[in-house]
Amino acid sequence: MATKFKVKLHRWSVAWHRDLGYFFSSLIIIYCISGLALNHVDDWNPDFIIQKKTIQLPKVYQRAEINNDVVVTFGKMVDEKHFKLYDFPTHNQVKIYYDNATFHINFDDRIGHYEKLSKRPLFYESNVIHRNSLKGWKWVSDVFALMLIIISITGLYILKGKYGFKRRGIWFFLAGLLLPVVAVVLFYVLQ
């Protein structure tokens, strides 16, 4: 009876591990790519590509000269056709707003600073999912987390014998557990 149960449990573990692994593999890859990107947020912007240009204006402008036609002319300098609005942060500056871009011009030094944001392909969408930014996604994320636990537990019982969990796997399991334990201890010691 116990042997039959062990055989059924083993078959069940293999089947669930295999099928859940196949089903969730794309989501695992998405979370891994996003995790790598978000781990290095201090090194780069994982969501947006930021393009910057410095433009030298052909002449000195006065605030009184600035109107819609002049703003359209400024836009042509940075390949922008339609502005949303513009304002004057100071008496000698104009800031023009476009879809996903701004053009900040200083009249005194005749220099404009243009900055455009565009979504980083693949990473932006992956990060939206990873950060649970989609309404209702936290429930999918919770189910996903539970399924990863099941995939991990069933994976522990797939191999038998000297390479199985009870003989060899337990040591790798404990070694893997040691990493977060050491990290937490170091966190508290170095605080």
Q: Answer whether 0.75 is exceeded by the pTM.
A: no
What pLDDT is stored for residue 159 in this prediction? 84
What pLDDT is stored for residue 1 in this prediction? 63
Collect all residues with Cβ–Cβ distance below 8 Å to 110 and sequence separation of at least 6. Answer: 56, 57, 58, 59, 60, 61
What parts of the chain have a pLDDT lower than 70? 1
CA distances from 98 to 47, 58, 156 (A): 19, 22, 55
Phi then psi for residue 112, to 5 deg, are: -120, 140
For the chain, the domains span 2-43+124-158, 48-119
Render pLDDT for 138-159 as a digit per residue (tens, 0 to 9): 899 999 999 999 999 888 888 8
Q: Is 23 helix (H, G, I), strand (E, B) or coil?
A: helix
Q: Are 33 and 122 in contact (CB under 8 A)?
A: yes
Q: Which of 168, 164, 173, 172 is nearest to 10 (CA)?
A: 164
Collect all residues with Cβ–Cβ distance below 8 Å to 87 and sequence separation of at least 6. Answer: 94, 95
